[in-house]
Amino acid sequence: MAEQQNQNQNQVVEEDLNHLLKVRREKLAELQESGKDPFKVTKYDVTVHSSEIKENYEVWEGKEVSIAGRLMSKRVMGKASFCNVQDLKGNIQSYVARDSIGEESYKEFKKLDIGDIVGIKGTAFTTKTGEVSIHAESVELLTKSLQILPEKFHGLTNTDLRYRQRYVDLIMNPEVRDTFVKRSQIIKEIRNHLDAQGFMEVETPMLVANAGGAAARPFDTHYNALDEDVKLRISLELYLKRLIVGGLERVYEIGRVFRNEGVDTRHNPEFTLMELYQAYTDYHGMMDLVENLFREVALKVLGTAVVTYDGVEIDLSKPFERISMVDALKKYKDIDFTAIHTDEEAKALADQYHVAYEARHKKGDILSLLFEEFVEEHLIQPTFIIDHPVEISPLTKKKPSDPEYTERFELFITKREMANAYSELNDPLDQIERFKAQEALLAAGDDEANSMDEDFVNALMIGMPPTGGIGIGIDRFVMLLTDSYAIRDVLLFPTLKSAGK
């Protein structure tokens, strides 16, 4: 019985919606027949945005203004009406009187629909209730909306629909628009910070013969003109390091990379990565750089280096903790990995703590698995985890004092990896052996392992100076500074399964 009632209600809603859509088409036809086709309008002179009028009212009071945006509400009251227009910076009320805009224009105004894009010219004033508004002198329809905004019937609360129709999400949810405005500001401030440090922004290929520089499965495609299979890049590393070889001492790139992996709250198959490389420094220099970068960007965008994420205060103003992976395991789980000397002992330790591993895994892999299982959940405040095992760091310089470990760090904040950095491996003979070990893993079924990159090895043969490098996940950084739970909330168009599948 209840199901039948729901079906009847849905049918009524659908019929009402179809009627409203039909009415909008009829209004458009009427406008076109009378020579007032809004789709023939090519421009409108906008002099100010809504928030500028509100925030600087003393400057604009009594002066003529011209705004344009989407009609979000309308209250018709005989000879005078109120409407609300939303533009990029916010929204503002407008008082529309028949005597001010003319009888014919007022009739046309009353036929406007919510969602229409209009231009309003008038003077700034405050109403009796104290609301900053525009006293309209003219209202012009710039674009006719032929669709109903979603809150008219059911609200835009379905997250899948929000991601699929981001354009509607941006209209209906101001906080979503604010997130993406902040994203743009964050990337701008990253560039400003690096440019001021003498870094040069460059661009490297997205279609590559050999997708290296990270442990990830690439997307495969085919280059018809060359009749060659190629891959979408999984990192920016190997080409940027070629530029260091070429003498460009400080380079960076902010760009999309592609990894054929699962989708969850922290992962999207295509995401934005920033990688930079600086000659004549090491991973300690990279720690200083990234700590200053995170702090300064937060200050520039948010006005504070103390941010709130998921109800927890994250302090970027204090020095970030620096602790080795081995010491972190001791600190948070009281496991002394320095007592482990062989692969067999490491696997026995994993068995003891019920941590799953694969037959191919070695001692360093087991350390990484134990770290992921027992340590990551504690890394809420900014923490550099340093000195990773060589098995999981194929492009990193070994620690001279302990060659089982590398000069590498990962920055963790809110339990998430935010950055990954190395003292870069510049010994070509060592690099060849690392690539061979990776190819053995690839042959054994590890589809995330790297393969030999002959040209990159040749570049190292030419000679790369001591270099520090770092990769920062831009999307996760934006999540932190905008208090966004999922990566989809900071990607304008996240990857989704096709509708209906």
Distance, CA of 368 to CA of 358 (rounded, Å):
13
410 is in an annotated binding site: yes
* Token pair belonging to 187: 């990337």
Give the HSE-up count for residue 257: Cα atoms under 13 Å, Cβ half-sphere: 28
Please choose, from the candidates 305, 218, 241, 237, the residue with its C-alpha nearest in 3D space to the C-alpha of residue 471.
237
HEC string of 361-420 equals CCHHHHHHHHHHHHCHHHCCCCEEEECCEHHHCCCECEECCEEEEECEEEEEECCEEEEE
Please choose, from the candidates 160, 191, 195, the residue with its C-alpha nearest in 3D space to the C-alpha of residue 301.
191
Distance, CA of 135 to CA of 418 (rounded, Å):
49
Please choose, from the candidates 93, 97, 110, 104, the residue with its C-alpha nearest in 3D space to the C-alpha of residue 137.
97
Please choose, from the candidates 417, 420, 408, 410, the residue with its C-alpha nearest in 3D space to the C-alpha of residue 480.
417
- Contact call for residues 227 and 267 (beta carbons, < 8 A): no
HEC string of 92-154 equals EEEEEEHHHHCHHHHHHHHCCCCCCEEEEEEEEEECCCCCEEEEEEEEEEEECCCCCCHHHCC
Element (H, E) at 440: helix 428-443
Distance, CA of 406 to CA of 388 (rounded, Å):
5
Q: Number of helices (H) and strands (E), helices first, in the chain?
A: 16, 20
Range list of H helices, 262-341: 283-302, 325-333
For tokens 């995170």, the residue is: 294
Distance, CA of 363 to CA of 365 (rounded, Å):
5
237 is in an annotated binding site: no
> Annotated binding site for Mg(2+), which residues?
410, 417
> Annotated binding site, which residues?
410, 417
